[in-house]
C-alpha cells in the first residue's frame, strides 16, 4: 500500500486512459482517504473516497453514497500505476 501513497495523474501519453478517464488526479493519503479530481475546462469536480488494498485489488468507497468498488492494480517497470477495471487497463503517473 505504501507505493500507492501520493498524487497520481492520468497518463497523457496513453490514449485509452484519456478516453476512459480524461484528465484526472488521484491523491492517496496514508490514512485511507482518496481524493479524486476530474479536471475539465470549466470546473474541477472533486470526490472524497476511502480506500483499502486487498491483495492486488484497490477497494474504494464513497461515504456519501456507499458502494464498494474493486479494481485490480499493479505497477509497471516504469513505476506507473496500472488500473484494470473489468478488463480495461488505464495508466497513471506519479506527480512529484
Report the number of distinct structural domains present in the chain.
1
Q: Domain span at residue 49?
A: 2-95
Record the cell numbers describing residue 88, joined without a space. Answer: 480495461
Domain CATH code at residue 44: 2.40.128.490
Strand partners, 36: 26, 47
Q: What are 11-26's pLDDT values in tens digits?
A: 999 998 998 889 999 9
pLDDT top residue among 53 and 63? 53
Give me Rg for the CA atoms of the chain: 13
| DSSP character at residue 4 | G
The pLDDT tens digits of the residues spanning 56-94 come to 999 999 888 888 999 999 999 999 999 998 888 999 999
Q: In 3-state terms, what secondary structure has residue 49?
A: strand
d(CA 65, CA 16): 28
Amino acid at each position: 500500500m505504501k507505493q500507492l501513497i501520493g498524487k497520481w495523474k492520468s497518463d497523457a501519453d496513453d490514449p485509452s486512459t484519456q478516453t476512459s478517464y480524461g484528465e484526472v488526479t488521484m491523491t492517496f493519503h496514508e490514512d485511507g482517504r482518496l481524493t479524486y479530481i476530474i479536471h475539465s475546462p470549466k470546473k474541477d469536480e472533486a470526490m472524497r473516497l476511502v480506500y483499502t488494498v486487498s491483495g492486488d485489488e484497490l477497494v474504494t468507497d464513497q461515504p456519501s453514497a456507499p458502494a464498494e468498488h474493486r479494481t485490480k492494480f499493479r505497477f509497471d517497470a516504469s513505476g506507473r500505476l496500472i488500473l484494470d477495471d473489468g478488463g480495461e487497463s488505464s495508466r497513471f503517473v506519479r506527480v512529484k
